[in-house]
């Protein structure tokens, strides 16, 4: 199996965000997969202030990291049955960085675990020519699973993360080989 670079996108920009309780757990879940190098891009520090929303516009601080990624894991909360505006900005400020690469999702919220945020993100990434993977991790009421070591989910959550990572690795390897073989059009 080839080593791939997976970039974790932290999608909440709230000051006291639950995302911070999930990032250490999710980083471990990504990194325990064989042959994965982990990078993190946080929407609060990605240098998204350029507001030059067009392909080839002023590069953000995150652009180089996103360009180098073979795959993405997007961590998103659900706000009013959608995903955060800050995450949409982070997506829209880039273009070719997403193209022909796989995207996996970890969402969180109340009863539906952020499922509606994920389904909307699938539409956005389709427009950018990214390939979203079927296996996703939906965390329902994750704040009920905080222990001494932070987020301590039931075993089936870790199993879901492993399934998502296995699928992401397959797509990342396949698409990277295809991008090398046939140049991705601008």
Cross-strand bridge partners of residue 79: 82
Of positions 78, 83, 87, 136, contacts ligand FMN by CB under 6 A: 78
Number of neighbouring beta carbons within 10 Å of residue 186: 8
Task: Round to the nearest angstrom and report the end-to-end CA distance of the chain.
Answer: 29
E runs forming strands in 58-145: 71-77, 102-109, 131-132, 137-140
Among 14, 32, 51, 61, binds ligand FMN (CB under 6 A): 14
Residues in contact with ligand FMN, shown as a per-residue x/- string from 103 to 122 under the rule CB under 6 A = ------xx-x----------
Per-residue interface string for the shown chain with ligand FMN, residues 80-99, x marking contact by CB under 6 A: xx------------------
The nearer residue to ligand FMN, 104 or 142, going by C-beta atoms, is: 142
- What is the three-class DSSP state of 6? strand
For ligand FMN, which is the closer residue by CB, 17 or 122? 17
Q: Is residue 170 part of the contact set for ligand FMN (CB under 6 A)?
A: no
Q: Of 18, 44, 135, 145, which one interacts with ligand FMN (CB under 6 A)? A: 18
**3 state SS for 23-39:** HHHHHHHHHCCCCEEEE
Instruction: In whole angstroms, give the CA distance from residue 79 to residue 18.
Output: 13
Residues that bind ligand FMN (CB under 6 A): 12, 14, 17-19, 77-81, 109-110, 112
């Amino acid at each position: 199996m080839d080593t791939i670079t997976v970039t974790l996108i932290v999608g909440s920009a709230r000051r006291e965000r639950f995302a911070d309780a999930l990032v250490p757990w999710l980083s471990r879940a990504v990194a325990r997969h064989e042959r994965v190098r982990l990078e993190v891009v946080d929407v609060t520090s990605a240098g998204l202030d350029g507001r030059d929303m067009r392909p080839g516009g002023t590069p953000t601080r995150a652009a180089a990291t996103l360009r180098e990624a073979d795959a993405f894991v997007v961590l998103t909360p659900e706000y009013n049955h959608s995903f955060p505006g800050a995450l949409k900005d982070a997506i829209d400020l880039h273009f070719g960085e997403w193209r022909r690469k796989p995207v996996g999702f970890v969402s969180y919220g109340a009863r539906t675990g952020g499922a509606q945020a994920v389904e909307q993100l699938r539409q956005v990434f389709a427009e950018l020519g990214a390939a979203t993977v079927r296996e996703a991790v939906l965390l329902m009421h994750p704040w009920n699973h905080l222990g001494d070591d932070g987020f301590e989910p039931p075993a089936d959550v870790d199993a879901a993360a492993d399934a998502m990572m296995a699928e992401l690795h397959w797509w990342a390897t396949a698409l990277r080989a295809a991008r090398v073989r046939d140049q991705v059009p601008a």
